[in-house]
Amino acid sequence: MRDSYAKFETHGVKLYAVSYDDQETLKEFAQTQNIPYPLLSDLDSAVIERYGILNTEVSKDDAFLYGIPFPGIYVVDESGKVVAKFFHDTYKKRDSPETLIDAALGRILIEEDAPQAEGGDDDIRITAAVHGGKGSVRQGIIRKLVVRFELPEGMHIYGEPVPQGLTATQVVVNGPPGLSTMATEFPATEHLHLQAMGVDLEVWSGTVDIVVPFYARGELASETRALDADSITLEVQVRYQACNENECLLPQTETFNLDLPMDVVDVPRLGPHLGHGQREGNYDSMPAMRRLIRRKLIQNPLGLPKFIWKNIKLELAARKRRKNRGQAG
């Protein structure tokens, strides 16, 4: 978010971040990490609770963890109404800052520094680009492969379903193992009824963006080990057929290769995160951690011993799994 702050400013989108951290922590964090937008302190998680997003999977006996939200983002318009919201099944999946700006503006803005390739011909322009974070790959961070068709006046391409003999537009993304794609996002089609031929068609015309969101799993990019490579290649296959009222061109298949940089993750300078070959925070968050534990301990004195006991049990179970895997392998 920090690195994209200027873009939010350029597009007139304000940015706010809420957590249950104390003000001193946020001040240190903002100073050392150069965070230019407001970090708001919801110390007792009252706003998190009022919004209905308190992480109810974390119990009061989970010591300092209690009070965190299900992480997520709301984007509002000028009147304060939600135009988009972003919540995922796991906290590991996070949206790119550019996705929030797109949601606020209601369009996809492909930037010049996005990895991209062009195809098509004199009439039809096709751009394949990776949108968000200059296309960099990190565990769980969702980037968007955007295939943009720019069609001349009168020409259209097809969405599903298509009658026999015509080809629906299709985008297939192939990447290295550990790359996951999410459901393809198609714009709404226009309905076209050709009376003479008695067929119904679903078409797109003008500028058409087809989006395939994707992210890396731990196999490809992890925060708990150093990266295997500096970059990956994404192979994008685009199949389409363009027609106008009089004639149809032959179905086309085009392949684009996009090189994406792998990105090191920023991790807090705290025990569990250290020594994994990632970019460690330039400030010691141990004092903030002690304050957080003390604060939660006052609210629930038994929470800490219970949490420590739970941790021991979970660690033992993990070791057993590892041992079993070792035997099986």
Partner 1 sequence: MTIERDESGFDAPAPLGHPARAGLPAGHPTGPAVGERLPDFELPDAQGRLVNFHEDRAGRKAALVFYRSAVW
Per CB under 8 A, which of residues 234..293 are in contact with partner 1?
A: 268, 270-273, 276, 285, 288-289, 292
Give the helix/strand (H/E) hosting 40.
Answer: strand 39-41
Q: Show Cβ contacts of residue 86 under 8 Å, excluding neighbours closer than 6 positions.
A: 72, 73, 75, 95, 99, 100, 103
Counting contacts by CB under 8 A, is residue 7 touching partner 1?
no
Token pair in block for residue 34: 């150069």
Is 84 one of the binding residues for partner 1 (CB under 8 A)?
yes
CA distance 261 to 161: 36
Where in 205-234 is the site for partner 1 (CB under 8 A)?
217-219, 222-225
Of 198 and 272, which CB lies nearer to partner 1 in the complex structure? 272
CA distance 178 to 217: 5
Q: Helices 286-299 and 303-328 meet at what angle, rounded to 10?
A: 120
Residue 65 near partner 1 by CB under 8 A = yes
Stretch near partner 1 under the rule CB under 8 A, chosen from 40-48, 149-157, 181-189, 237-245: 40-48
Considering the rule CB under 8 A, would residue 306 count as an interface residue with partner 1?
A: no
Which residues on adjacent β-strands are paired with residue 238?
171, 254
Q: Please report where in the chains the tokens 């249950």 appear, as a residue.
A: 20
* Interaction between residue 194 and partner 1 (CB under 8 A): no
Q: Which two tokens stand for residue 49?
A: 């609770």
Contact positions with partner 1 (CB under 8 A) in 130-149: 139-140
| CB-nearer residue toward partner 1: 74 or 254 | 74
Identity of the residue, 90 or 164, whose beta carbon is nearer to partner 1 in the bound complex:
90
Report if residue 60 touches partner 1, rule: CB under 8 A: no
